[in-house]
Amino acid sequence: MNNQTFKPPLPVLIVEDNQAVVEVVDLLLRRNGFKTAIAITGQEAIDWLKKRETSIVLTDHNLPDMQGWEIIETIRQDTTHNAPPFLVMTGEGDERIAVEMMKRGALDYVVKDADFNTRLPAALSRATKQLEQAEKLASVEAALKREHQFLSAIVETTGALVVVLDKNGIIIRFNRACERITGYSAREMIGQPVWQLIRRVEEIPSTRDTFNRLAQGQ
């Protein structure tokens, strides 16, 4: 695994009842820079997740008391907790089941075969990169939303008349000052061409020409 790979600060929760597999997986993850936690059964994992947070749940498909996806589904149904992303480990020949788990929301799956020790770190690397990108995107979207709300507040509270047009001259924003001065409501004006606001019909052609030149960057 590349040393520059994003390492989530929260532990990876390993859910596996086979002690030998637990030891191998735990060692592999720690060697690659991940923190780990361990649960032997599905219920133990659920209890753990209700008290703590994890970056990813790495679960065996077949557990003594339930299937791996049922852990996530149980957490999803509890609205007081966020369901974590998860990866599934399966035995050889269970690829069809693994694909079904991905349909249920798993980020990836890893088959316990001869290449397991190589595939597991690679799968976690892909998953953590995906989570990092999603986290960055959510951060950017939140910032844009805050900026939009801020600008919207300015547009609506300013005393100046503010009309926002699309590239075709159609009104897409009509602030409160415009409503007060013109007597038109925003509901009436949004979706209408701005030329409708021009009282002197003879001025409409020159106004449209000016707008078109502005829209073309002139």
Question: What is each CA distance from 215 to 3, 65, 208, 218, in whole angstroms?
Answer: 48, 65, 10, 7
Q: pTM higher than 0.75, yes or no? A: no
Angle between helices 19-31 and 116-157 (to 10 degrees): 60
Q: Which of 38-42, 94-98, 192-196: highest mean pLDDT? A: 38-42
What is the pLDDT confidence band of residue 2, given thresholds at 50, 70 and 90? very low
Segment 40-64 mean pLDDT: 91
Distance, first Cα to last Cα, the chain: 52
What is the pLDDT confidence band of residue 43, given thresholds at 50, 70 and 90? very high
Domains defined along the chain, listed by start:
12-141 (3.40.50.2300), 158-215 (3.30.450.20)
Per residue in 56-115, pLDDT (tens digit) is 999 998 899 998 888 988 888 876 777 788 988 887 666 677 778 778 888 888 888 888
Report the distance separating Cα 183 and Cα 13, nearest Å. 62
